[in-house]
A and B are shown apart, each in its own frame.
Chain A
Amino acid sequence: GEDVEQSLFLSVREGDSSVINCTYTDSSSTYLYWYKQEPGAGLQLLTYIFSNMDMKQDQRLTVLLNKKDKHLSLRIADTQTGDSAIYFCAESTNSGYALNFGKGTSLLVTP
């Protein structure tokens, strides 16, 4: 299938902003998602964006989409130690159908 690529690891200090990046190859991707997975747990839907949008903000989270470059980013403002987790980028060509995930970015927030 088409690829979704993410950097594997990011470390930030508490209170700083975190930016997690993702690139995808499927030009027909219509929906793009960010999920969070804490150790030993399932996936928590954080936010999503339609391909006809450039940006979406939801409290501390800001999603930016560059459709031309097929680049998606997730910015977490005022990062807290509780934000330490693995963050997955996922895309779908049709909402409700199969999600295609990246390998995840492990975010470590240090005091």
Chain B
Amino acid sequence: DAGVTQSPTHLIKTRGQQVTLRCSPKSGHDTVSWYQQALGQGPQFIFQYYEEEERQRGNFPDRFSGHQFPNYSSELNVNALLLGDSALYLCASSLMGQGVYEQYFGPGTRLTVT
């Protein structure tokens, strides 16, 4: 049973560039959430996608956008990168409609902005 997968593992970008991160949910899951984890901090919720729509959003600027595809996989896009966007980006998947919505995390994408 495949768990949550993310690509790429590591990424280095220059300030002002744009980046796209990808996530495939755990088999059987239909909901994807994205989190940003800065060094030494806990993860911060960015947004959640269900049925190809953004269902909830955290306190992140519009430079952060996402998409969910019919196969439930998801992309996180960040425009006009800032040095402060350097972080580990985590994707979590869950199954809506279940009694307890356990969120399972992928290994993350380490983004470095120089």
Residue ranges of A at the interface with B (Cβ–Cβ < 8 Å): 1, 4, 31, 35, 41-45, 48, 88, 90, 95-104
Q: How many A-B residue pairs have CB under 8 A?
A: 58
CB distance from A71 to the nearest CB of B (A): 18
* A88 proximity list for chain B (CB < 8 A): 42-43
User: Does the CB pair A96–B107 fall under 8 Å?
Assistant: no
Residue from B31, B43, B96, B100 within 8 A of A99 (CB atoms):
B43
Output the least CB separation between B49 and chain A (Å): 12
Report the minimum CB–CB distance from A9 to chain B (whole Å): 12
**B residues whose Cβ falls under 8 Å from a Cβ of A:** 4, 31, 33, 35, 40-45, 48, 55-56, 58-59, 90, 92, 94, 96, 100-108
Q: From the candidates A43, A96, A103, name the one contacting B105 in the complex (CB within 8 A).
A: A43
> Does B103 contact A103, Cβ atoms closer than 8 Å?
no
| Interchain CB contact under 8 A, B105 and A98 | no
Known A97-B48, A104-B41; 12 more pairs at CB < 8 Å: A41-B107, A45-B102, A45-B104, A48-B100, A88-B42, A95-B101, A96-B31, A96-B101, A98-B56, A99-B43, A101-B43, A103-B40
